[in-house]
Amino acid sequence: MQIFVNTLHTQHTGQHEMFRGQMVPCHEVPARLDHVLAELAHRPVGPMLAPPAGDAAFDAALQSVLGRVHHPGYLTFLAQAWAEWVALDATNAQRDALPSVWPLPNRHGFSTLHPPRNFAARLGMYAFDAGTPLMAGSWAAAQAGAACALAAAQAVLADMAVSQSPAQTAATTASPGQQAQLPSALALTRPPGHHAGPDFMGGYCFLNNAAVAAQTLLDGGCTRVAVLDVDYHHGNGTQTIFYERADVLTVSIHGDPATEYPFYLGHADEVGAGAGEGFNLNLPLSRGSGADTWFEALDTALARIHAYQPQACVVPLGLDTFAGDPISGFRLQSADYLSMGRRLASLNLPTVFTFEGGYAVAEVGVNAVNVLLSFVDARPS
Q: Is residue 350 part of a domain?
A: yes
pLDDT at 105: 67
Check if the beta carbon of residue 194 is closer than 8 Å to that of residue 210: yes
Q: How confident is the model at residue 176 (pLDDT cuts 50, 70, 90)?
A: very low
pLDDT at residue 21, rounded to an integer:
84
Contact between 311 and 350 (Cβ < 8 Å): yes
Per-residue pLDDT, 53:
80
Q: Which residues contact 19 (CB under 8 A, 6 or more apart)?
A: 27, 131, 327
Q: List the one residue out of 79, 124, 77, 74 whose CA is nearest residue 99.
A: 124
Contact 302, 343 (CB under 8 A): yes
- For the ranges 101-105, 144-148, 276-280, the lowest mean pLDDT is seen at 101-105
32-88 residue pLDDT tens: 999 999 999 999 999 999 999 889 999 999 999 999 999 999 999 999 999 999 999
d(CA 323, CA 360): 9
Residue 24 lies in a domain: yes
Q: What pLDDT shows up at residue 110?
A: 61
Task: Please check whether residue 78 lies inside any domain of the structure.
Answer: no
Residue 271 lies in a domain: yes
Instruction: Report the predicted TM-score, pTM, of the whole model to 2 decimal places.
Output: 0.94
Phi, psi dihedrals of residue 362, rounded to the nearest 5°: -65, -30
Q: Please report whether residue 303 resides in a domain.
A: yes
Q: Is the pLDDT of residue 5 over 60?
A: yes
Nearest to 324 by CA among 277, 284, 361, 289: 361
Q: How confident is the model at residue 157 (pLDDT cuts 50, 70, 90)?
A: very high
Question: What is the arithmetic mean of pLDDT over 124-152?
Answer: 97
Q: Is residue 13 part of a domain?
A: yes
For the cut 60, the answer to whether the pLDDT of residue 322 exceeds it is yes
Instruction: Using the predicted structure, report yes or no on whether residue 134 has a pLDDT greater than 60.
Output: yes
pLDDT value, residue 112? 61
Domain that holds residue 224: 2-55+136-172+180-377
More confident residue, 200 or 180: 200
**Res 251 pLDDT > 70:** yes
What's the mean per-residue pLDDT of the chain?
93
Query: Alpha-carbon distance 151 to 67, whole Å?
Result: 16
In a domain, 113, yes or no: no
Q: Please give the average per-residue pLDDT across 166-170, as a whole number.
A: 51
Q: Is residue 110 part of a domain?
A: no
Is residue 148 pLDDT above 70, yes or no? yes
Active site residues: 195
Q: Reply yes or no on whether the pLDDT at 260 is more than 70.
A: yes
Distance CA 67, CA 182 (A): 29
Classify each residue of 37-63 as buried b or exposed e, where b means 16 or more C-beta atoms within 10 Å of its C-beta.
eebbeeeebeeebebeeeeeebbebbe
Q: How many domains would you assign to the chain?
A: 1
Please state, in angstroms and rounded to a whole number, the distance separating the CA atoms of residues 377 and 381.
9
Q: How far apart are CA 69 and CA 215, in angstroms?
A: 8
pLDDT, tens digit, 9 for 90 and up, residues 80-117? 999 999 999 999 999 999 999 998 766 555 666 677 89
Specify the CATH number for the domain of residue 46.
3.40.800.20
